[in-house]
Amino acid sequence: MTNVLAKMKIRKMLAEDIGFGDITTETVVPPEAVVTAEIVAKQHGILAGVVEAALAFEEVGVLIKAMESDGKPIKPGDVVMKLEGPARSILVAERTALNLLMRMSGVATSTSEMLEKARRVKPDIILAATRKVMPLLSYFDKRAVRLGGGDTHRFRLDDCVLIKDNHVKLAGGVAEAIRRARSASFSKKVEIEVRKPGDAPKAAEAGADILMFDNMTPAEIKRAVRLLIERGLRERVLLEASGELDLANVAKYAATGVDILSSSYMTFRAPAMDMSLEIRVGKGFKPKR
């Protein structure tokens, strides 16, 4: 079922783009023009955003037929979606729909590429997205990550406890921060950032469920994992590597022995996938002279 939140956000996107009306379309395109159109892929990648683009067109009364489904590989020339309806309506929703398709497909494609490299080294590793997403776009970015084979990690601050260095400073130490975090709810996992190998055993002994090795080198993470194994703590915790992970180094981090890789590459640095909307003039339609 489509998230109600997505519909609400797409309506706001359309309102922001349309403003008081599309003055170009309203002055140039005859109101009676009914046409068909196609959205065509211009690059290889993983498709994402079909559901969301369809919502944008449906909001303005355009009929849609999805030719490809979310999460599927596509290539240049593939028709992603066919449209039919008033030309003015198609044009007014074009940019919002294409922006969603192009951005989400770019995120899904980058997620798939990173995951493929990581799983060559460790087949069961999880690749998760961080909360480094543009405000108000987290729903779309996180769904695109999932369509690319990744994990969403936290959507919001209320999803789980994630204790960072500033939290530790303000709480008065790792153990006290974890003790306080346990009061949130029995159902919430407690994750804590670790910045030095020697801090990993301390955090595990204090009762953390997940250790996030933040901005540590692969060598430092391997050392932290060895310390946990030596002290019999490795099986108590999930281990996550986070920081400057990208396509160039993801395999090195996958080889450190962690369970999860988290990265903002997919949502902050991934290029959008190129697509275009091509209108076919409806049968029997003649522009007014």
Per-residue confidence band for 282, with pLDDT thresholds at 50, 70 and 90: low
pLDDT single digits (tens) 34-50:
999 999 999 999 999 99
Parallel, antiparallel, or unpaired: how do β-strands 79-86 and 63-66 relate? antiparallel
The whole-number average pLDDT for the span 53-73 is 97
pLDDT for residue 244: 87
Nearest to 241 by CA among 264, 278, 215: 215
Q: Are 240 and 210 in contact (CB under 8 A)?
A: yes
**pLDDT above 90: residue 89:** yes
CB count in 10 Å sphere of residue 127: 27
The range of the structural domain enclosing residue 167 comes to 112-269
The whole-number average pLDDT for the span 224-253 is 96
pLDDT for residue 135: 86
CATH code where residue 74 lies: 3.90.1170.20
The tokens of 54 are what?
């369809």
Same domain, 85 and 129: no
pLDDT for residue 2: 60
On whether residue 88 sits in a domain, the answer given is: yes
What is the distance between the alpha carbons of residues 96 and 56, in angstroms, rounded to a whole number?
7
Q: Are 119 and 59 in contact (CB under 8 A)?
A: no
Q: What mean pLDDT value characterizes the chain? A: 94
CB count in 10 Å sphere of residue 166: 9
Per cent of the chain over pLDDT 70 is 97
pLDDT single digits (tens) 172-203:
999 999 999 988 888 889 999 999 999 999 99
- Residues recognised as catalytic: 95, 132, 164, 193, 214
pLDDT for residue 1: 46
Same domain, 257 and 275: no
65 bridge partner residues: 82
Same domain, 74 and 164: no
Q: Are 281 and 30 in contact (CB under 8 A)?
A: no
Residues 6+ apart with CB under 8 A from 170: none
On whether residue 286 sits in a domain, the answer given is: no
